[in-house]
Structure 1
């Protein structure tokens, strides 16, 4: 049974408001606006800016390169990298409120994407982040409001799904992500910091920078380029 269809308590609420509960009101107004998207809001959040630094561990180059086949991270590093992030909200084919996270990094010789789609899972009691354009990886996210009114996300259990197969990754072979986004009132910009660590390698991948956000009218149709190629029902 689709547990999201007809779920009246989520009507008009974003998945982040469901996940944070009362803490959602502690977010900075500009952060709260960005994370208020839901399928009925007919708007999108589009950020454009620069990543001051993008870095990866040399020993992670091969797995990161493999990840580019599904738009999951990448093996490039650099400074002052032009960046966009596209957040659209819609109901997926299973009726679940979904938010896109399409991050595009424009390196001098190559454009890379880091795609994800997020839902709120009632059964798991948290946001589930499907990484990549085929939703092969499902990651539980722990979320909190920071003292400065930003939002912080930490990854938890990670699962792999393909066809009939599905399994949980052992902790030793996963990358733990720590993401923080906040609004810098003095600069009038959003700032973001992303770090991925591994029990085996330590720091694996990170980027940080700033961007301006525009709340845009999305209309009824979500642009095809932000939608996953494949949608996974299992959470």
Structure 2
């Protein structure tokens, strides 16, 4: 619902399966299971930060190949009448489960998605949505802030985690595809993951 409102006419250029996935009727969850062919985190020097982030269901220190994961999205209406989408991702490293949560709302005046990352939120990022000529969904991050309860502080550009997400659909394999890259100008890769998933009831 909120993504169709954000993309406008461009929404119709998404692959039909992506239109189906991002329609997200109110209170009707989209749930999926899949496999991340690769998950790569950054330098060992970042592990203290990753360990802190895991407490907020955000980033995590593990890397791996062929990592099972689950995804759940649901659109809800808030008390002020606006809509928000809950994102819940769980990655299964053996008997260890890592989560990556977010809450998204649309800012219609600025034409961006407002993304609060973590539970409770640890970071905020503007997200810019567009559709590629192949019908894939492309998401890029913009302005970012550190969040501590009701306090928010802008993150200097040199400390940002610059995000690029590309989601598509493979007609031959009949699976959704996802590729996420989070990079920092100073230390390089913060996280990269790429994989496939299919919906479940």
TM-score (structure 2 length as normaliser): 0.94
CA shift at 1:125, angstroms?
A: 2.2
- The verdict on how the C-alpha distance between 1:123 and 1:188 changes in structure 2, with shifts beyond 3 A counting, is same
Deviates more, 1:76-85 or 1:156-165: 156-165
Matched, 1:25 2:24: no
CA distance in 1, matches of 2:5, 2:163: 21
Q: How many residues align?
A: 200
Structure with greater proportional strand content = 2
Deviation at 1:76, TM superposition (A): 0.5
Taking the aligned partners of 2:169 and 2:160, their CA distance within structure 1 comes to 30
Conserved 8 A contact 2:74-2:86:
yes
Give unmatched runs, 5+ long, in structure 1: 1-13, 217-235
Moved over 3 A (4+): none
Q: Which deviations, in whole Å up to 9, do the C-alpha atoms of 1:108-162 show, x marking residues without a partner? A: 1410000011100124321111101112422100111112211010111012333
Match of 1:174 in 2: 160
CA contact (8 A) 1:146 1:152 kept: yes
> Which position in structure 2 is the counterpart of 1:15?
2
Deviation at residue 163 of structure 1 after TM alignment: 4.1
Listed as ranges, the matches of 1:72-87 within 5 Å are 72-87=58-73
Q: 2:55 aligned with 1:69, yes or no?
A: yes
Report the 3-state secondary structure (helix = DSSP H, G, I; strand = E; otherwise coil) of the residue aligned with 1:66: helix
Comparing 153-162 with 68-77, greater Cα deviation is found at 153-162
Secondary structure in 2 matching 1:31: helix
Question: Which residue of 42, 50, 55 corresponds with 2:35?
Answer: 50
Report the Cα offset of residue 64 of structure 1.
1.5
Q: Is the 8 A contact 1:15 1:38 kept in 2?
A: no
Between the aligned partners of 2:133 and 2:49, the Cα distance in structure 1 is 35
1:1-235 correspondence runs (5 A): 14-39=1-26, 42-58=27-43, 59-214=45-200, 216=201
Secondary structure at 1:43 match in 2: coil
Distance in 2 separating the partners of 1:165 and 1:133 = 15
Secondary structure of 1:182's aligned partner = strand
SS at match of 1:60: helix
Q: TM-score, normalised by structure 1?
A: 0.81
